[in-house]
């Protein structure tokens, strides 16, 4: 092999090693879930024998660090402003946010802090897993494991904001799970005929990350 | 004319009953409390997220249905009482209304 060919081979090998090293050390990117379009939402439904209550919460914020190549390194925190929770009946909404139920003055947010993403698998271009972390509602924090579905939308931020000059990616997180209200000190054992013990929750949120 | 007033009240009660139940059914037969806003789902094409939007719309609940039925029963009962009184008054004073013919 002549000398220029040798140099070329060495250079190619060095570049490959550098690229591999960078890939291995690539830090997950931060996705901001504060949504200017007001699309991010949590829906809740309670089915009691005498009454069915459904409502939504839209005051979502938080940051999730995610890399589609290394989803096991995912970390982050999502918060929901309790003031944003509402139902169709204004009196009921007032009660929901009042001191006896969610007490939004004293507890302004519901938080989920991700410790670890487990049971990771891929399905139809989406990443599925179980998000193990701490869920805090009112003054109670509990370890929970929530089924989550990540959809990584590369280069779609500009499309979403109707501005092609903005370069960045989107991360959509979906989850459906249920909790018991008495576990979180929400009027435990009271009004069970009208307000169900089990709260079914459905989360659909999108976060944005600008390209650097 | 107490008898006419009685019939009017009974008819009003019946009308209120039909109107209340009809309105409640037509508005979705909502079994919870009345609502002043309803949730309509919309779709974000980029993220494929379905998200709720609240619109101002009155949905009658079970309490409105109960009040309507209660009022219609009250009206019908008043009509029934008036018609009974009217009939009793007629039977107690036969000479004034139908003087004996000679």
d(CA B74, CA B54): 37
d(CA A146, CA A205): 15
pLDDT at A24: 47
* pLDDT, mean of residues B73-99: 79
Q: How far is A185 from chain B (nearest CA, A)?
A: 25
Q: Between A76 and A12, whose confidence is greater?
A: A76
d(CA A84, CA A70): 33
Q: What are phi and psi of A18, to 5 degrees?
A: -60, -45
**pLDDT over 70 at A141, yes or no:** yes
Instruction: Work out the pLDDT band at B1, boundaries 50, 70, 90.
Output: very low
Q: Please classify residue B54 by burial: count the beta carbons closer than 10 Å to its beta carbon, then call 0-12 exposed, 13-18 middle and 19+ buried.
A: middle
Instruction: Work out the pLDDT band at A81, boundaries 50, 70, 90.
Output: very high
pLDDT at B92: 77
* pLDDT, mean of residues B47-61: 93
Residue of B nearest to A194 (CA): B32
In whole numbers, what is the pLDDT of chain B averaged over residues?
Answer: 87
Q: How far does CA A150 lie from the centroid of its chain?
A: 9
Does residue A91 sit at the B interface (CB-CB below 8 Å)?
Answer: yes
Q: How far is A11 from chain B (nearest CA, A)?
A: 42
Does residue B39 sit at the A interface (CB-CB below 8 Å)?
Answer: yes
Judge if pTM exceeds 0.80: no
Helix, strand, coil % (nearest 5) of chain B? 60, 20, 20
Residue of B nearest to A205 (CA): B49
Instruction: Work out the pLDDT band at B88, boundaries 50, 70, 90.
Output: confident
d(CA A41, CA A86): 11
Q: Which token pair is B83?
A: 């018609």
* pLDDT tens figures, A89-129: 999 999 999 999 999 999 999 999 999 999 999 998 899 99
pLDDT at B99: 57
* pLDDT, mean of residues B46-67: 93
**pLDDT over 50 at B24, yes or no:** yes
Does residue A176 sit at the B interface (CB-CB below 8 Å)?
Answer: no
Contact B38 A88 (CB under 8 A): yes
Residue of A nearest to B34 (CA): A89
**pLDDT over 60 at B20, yes or no:** yes
d(CA A170, CA A168): 7
């Amino acid at each position: 092999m002549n000398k220029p060919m040798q140099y070329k081979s060495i250079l190619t090998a060095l570049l490959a090693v550098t690229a591999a090293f960078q890939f291995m050390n690539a830090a997950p990117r931060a996705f901001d879930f504060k949504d200017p379009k007001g699309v991010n939402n949590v829906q809740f439904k309670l089915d009691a024998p005498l009454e069915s209550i459904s409502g939504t919460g839209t005051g979502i914020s938080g940051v999730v660090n995610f890399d589609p190549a290394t989803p096991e390194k995912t970390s982050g925190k999502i918060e929901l402003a309790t003031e944003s929770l509402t139902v169709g009946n204004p009196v009921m909404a007032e009660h929901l946010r009042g001191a006896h139920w969610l007490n939004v003055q004293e507890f302004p947010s519901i938080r989920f802090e991700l410790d670890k993403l487990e049971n990771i698998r891929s399905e139809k271009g989406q990443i599925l897993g179980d998000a193990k972390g701490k869920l805090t509602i009112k003054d109670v924090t509990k370890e929970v494991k929530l089924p989550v579905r990540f959809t990584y939308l590369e280069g779609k931020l500009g499309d979403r904001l109707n501005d092609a000059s903005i370069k960045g990616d989107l991360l959509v997180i979906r989850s459906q799970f249920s909790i018991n209200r008495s576990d979180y000190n929400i009027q435990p054992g009271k009004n069970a005929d009208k307000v169900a013990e089990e709260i079914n929750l459905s989360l659909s949120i999108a976060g944005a990350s600008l390209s650097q | 004319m107490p008898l006419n007033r009685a019939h009017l009240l009974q008819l009003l009660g019946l009308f209120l009953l039909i109107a209340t139940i009809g309105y409640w059914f037509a508005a979705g037969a909502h079994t919870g409390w009345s609502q002043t806003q309803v949730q309509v789902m919309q779709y974000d094409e980029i993220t494929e997220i379905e998200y709720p939007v609240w619109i101002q719309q009155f949905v009658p609940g079970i309490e409105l249905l109960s009040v309507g039925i209660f009022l219609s029963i009250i009206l019908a009962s008043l009509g029934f009482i008036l018609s009974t009184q009217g009939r009793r008054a007629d039977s107690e004073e036969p000479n004034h209304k139908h003087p004996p013919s000679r």
